[in-house]
A and B are shown apart, each in its own frame.
Chain A
Amino acid sequence: MKDKRLGNPLQRQGVQNTIAAIIAILIGMLVGLIVLLFTDASRAGEGMMAILTGGLTDLKNMGQVLYYATPLIMTGLSVGFAKKTGLFNIGAPGQYMMGAFAAVYVGVKWTFLPAGIHCIVAVLAACLFGAIWGILPGLLKAWRGINEVITCIMMNYIAMSMSNVLIRAFIYDRAKNQSFRPDETAELPKMGFDKIFVGESGTPSSVNAGIVVAIVLAIVVWVVLEKTKMGYELKACGFNKDAAKYAGISEKRNIVQAMIISGALAGIGGGLNYLAGAGTGIMVADTLAQQGFDGIAVALLGMSNPIAIIFTGILMAYLTVGGLAMQSFGFVSQVITIITSVIVYFAAFILFFSQIIAKFAKGKGEKQNANAEPGDSGQAPPAQPPTPPTEGGEQA
């Protein structure tokens, strides 16, 4: 029976979640197709195809996918990491924003730093500011029991206004109503990507070392969560804080720790995005950073698994690039927003889907079992019932 369980991939949690995520994506695509059909039925097929293949049409687009994925993976990791430890970090937009500001500030002002060091310091500054923005809700939750969702939302708005004020005070490009761009020495190295991911007309993609940083950090987060004592404690708190307390784990310290790391990850995301050298400063605008919210979607779709988040981040970016390609067929790019929203909406049902898949798999296993042992008058316990009969009692 043990072997059979391993043998049927449908009964494995990871496989179930993956299939469930794919179902969510397919539904999103389907809704997108319906929208396309309603806008222009004659070209809907082409439009859909553009979405599906837009990220692959040339090397530059492939590079753009990785470039857009970078901040999404980081904010996704931020939200996912917090989720694993039982916290809902909806403050990623704020942490992202503060990280972005810190990175750009260092990038603009600290030009005395040598190239190479400069961008590292800028990323570290982003990390620090993001962490600071995460620590406050963490402290309030740990010591005052204030729900982190509420404080995080407030921190988002504070970050939005604060970064506007700070940009204006220190690094304001008046002519463009945005921050100055980071100095070239602060830009992330291209690592040769600008030679690989080049478009037909010779312009390189914006992809840079940021994607490498994001992937490495995703792996680091995975290692921390799965392999270390700290991860063991953080996850124990996330799954069951009472049991963690019972085991002598300090819940308060864990909450603060988790929020610091979570905030730092989102902050780095902001830093990486604005140090990419894609040619923009931080807009002075009264809007929350979209990448922060997209991180929630990325984490949700990836079931908070750091490795899965790499892929869901890339997927979201892929759709974004597809959105540009789709415009060739006369569709407005907002369709992509609809598709991603629907995917996110159904991502919330992932657990539901995977339960169905699990039941489906089990039901099948059960039938096979029953067929294999006909006439066995009830000595064999059911395969793996939800509330298994007490095996211990039988033989103890």
Chain B
Amino acid sequence: MSEYVIEMCNITKEFPGIIANDNITLQLKKGEIHALLGENGAGKSTLMSVLFGLYQPEKGVIKKDGKEVKIKDPNDANALGIGMVHQHFKLVHNFSVLQNIILGVETTKGGFLKMDDARKKVMTLSEQYGLRVDPDALIENITVGMQQRVEILKMLYRDNEILIFDEPTAVLTPQEIDELMKIMKGLAAEGKSILFITHKLNEIKAVADRCTVLRKGKYVGTVNVADVSKEEMSEMMVGRKVSLNVEKEPSHPSEVVFEVEGLTVVNKEHGKKVVDNVSFQVRRGEIVCIAGIDGNGQSELIQAVTGLIKADSGTVKLKGEDITHASIRHRNTHGMSHIPEDRHKHGLVLDYPLSYNLVLQSYFEPEYCQAGFLKYDKINQYAEKLIGKYDIRSGQGGSTIARSMSGGNQQKAIVAREIDRDPDLLIAVQPTRGLDVGAIEYIHRQIVAERDRNKAVLLVSLELDEVMNLSDRILVIYEGQIVADLDPSKVTVQELGLYMAGSKREEGK
């Protein structure tokens, strides 16, 4: 019997124009937690899709317990005991936990579901691995962390031996992450083998035994996590040395630029206050970060202050001017810049060339527009200038269609556009979401530079590292309310987590 429960040997998977996996070998021991580390586009997902039977590799073999197997589709994978928790959960929201778990593998008797047997099995598993779920709760009523545990239970219920976790911590609070780590360790101890896909080094350090690193579709190496430092791993991942910490001077806040008073937004569909009486100020020369778990009203708050949705009550003031009811154009031309949360939805017209996108907020200015006609030479000049200044990489310069650019460069284009307008207030919502380490580093530096140019910066982030590294002041948002106003130098990640989870509240907030 082989030492490895699953081996993927010399896997090569090509797509037209790109080799997504180039001769990659991955060996998973029984009972280990094996991390798969790589930047976006490094080939992690492709490799897992090959293992899960979604793609067929051009070259290479997959072995289960030393025997070569063919995995043609997910059913084959299931039969071999391979299960996967996807990044986006695959659950039926108006079904109960139990119904979701048995979905697809229902046992029936005379056409009727044998729910009692299923319930017994789920309860046993739940206890055995400390998963603590209520089998009768509806999915729509339980937390994201709980939903993830349901996904895990689904795999266990199917007696899967090899469990794949695809970026499982992206949606969790620090507490939930700790919980998940414990569960994973428990599973490994029970003899399950775990493949853990991530780009977060802390988590690998915390939980993984070994780590395989991919870079640009190629195999870099497999290391024992205990033997290497985070810095070494990140160097393997990126291919060069990177600094993991943002270097910045202490802030020197001056006058108030942006003031929000009693802002409330009511969701039209369910009538709940998604932003509830929020008040805060942002001064020149400081980075104020709104921290919170996704879905606690950050998006609505920002959309309301930027004019994308209407606030139901409260006032928003920019440089002393009440802009609560001002048009988006007015806000944009009076000192507000906005790096939107979703660069594809709001930030860019993907089918426009880069140059058009770079003037998205200024094409109407006399400099680029005369008598209704656009001055393309001026626009192109400006685009070339920004491309050079902000190091935006694109195949054909300003005429590159935005869609064909990499995510990092798309984001850089947005950052360049918004910063170059020389705003008084820069609102940046998850500016580094989905980007690799290098791009993150770059954007962080730009944001700090803006602060140092005495601009006000309002940052919204879900990444705790980013929050802790970048901000001069942290506002924690929970269920639409600001529950804490913290100094990052005086608060720990754990404490911040408690505020974010709503189990702690600053006095007077």
Contacts and interface: CB of A to CB of B under 8 A. Distances in A.
* A–B in direct contact per CB < 8 Å: yes
A393 B435 contact: yes
B216 to A, nearest CB: 5
A349 interface: no
B17 A390 contact: no
Given A232-B363, A385-B15, A387-B41, A392 B346 contact: no
Contact of A239 (B39, B239, B351, B442): B351
Given A246-B346, A246-B347, A384-B17, A229 B408 contact: no
Interface in A1-31: 1-2, 5
Interface in B342-361: 345-352, 356, 360-361
Contacts of A366: 16-17
B22 A378 contact: yes
B41 A394 contact: no
B360 to A, nearest CB: 5
B41 A388 contact: yes
A390 B40 contact: yes
A248 B308 CA distance: 9
Nearest to B14: A366
B436 A239 contact: no
B352 A239 contact: yes
Which DSSP category, helix, strand, loop or mixed, fits chain A's interface? Answer: helix
Interface string A224-263: 0001111010011001101111111100000000000000
Interface string A365-394: 110000000000010011111111111111
A388 B436 CA distance: 13
B238 interface: yes
B216 A396 contact: no
A229 B363 contact: yes
A168 interface: no
B332 A389 contact: no
Interface residues of A, number: 42
A5 B361 CA distance: 30
Contacts of A248: 327-333, 361
B411 to A, nearest CB: 8
Given A382-B19, A389-B216, A394 B239 contact: yes
Interface residues of B, number: 63
Interface in B361-400: 361, 363-364, 369, 372-374, 376, 391-393, 395-396
B314 interface: no
A47 to B, nearest CB: 41
A392 B16 contact: no
A305 B412 CA distance: 31
A232 B374 contact: yes
A242 B346 contact: yes
Nearest to A366: B17
A359 interface: yes
A250 to B, nearest CB: 8
Nearest to A237: B349
B437 interface: yes
Contacts of B436: 390, 393
Contacts of A239: 349-352
Contacts of B351: 239-240
Contact of B374 (A227, A244, A381, A391): A227
Contact of A247 (B360, B369, B409): B360
A227 B356 CA distance: 12
A363 interface: yes
B404 interface: yes
B350 A390 contact: no
A190 interface: no
A362 B404 CA distance: 13
Given A5-B395, A232-B374, A393-B39, A385 B18 contact: yes
A243 B345 contact: yes
Nearest to A369: B17
A243 B348 contact: yes
Given A385-B18, A392-B442, A393-B438, 14 more contacts: A227-B374, A236-B360, A239-B351, A243-B349, A243-B360, A245-B328, A363-B17, A386-B17, A389-B41, A390-B438, A392-B391, A392-B392, A392-B409, A395-B393
30 contacts: A227-B374, A228-B374, A229-B363, A229-B369, A230-B372, A236-B352, A243-B347, A245-B328, A245-B346, A246-B308, A246-B340, A247-B328, A248-B330, A249-B329, A359-B16, A381-B216, A384-B395, A386-B18, A387-B406, A390-B406, A390-B407, A390-B408, A390-B436, A390-B438, A392-B392, A392-B409, A392-B438, A392-B442, A395-B393, A395-B438
Interface of B: 15-19, 22, 39-42, 216-218, 238-239, 306, 308, 327-333, 338, 340, 345-352, 356, 360-361, 363-364, 369, 372-374, 376, 391-393, 395-396, 404-409, 412, 435-439, 441-442
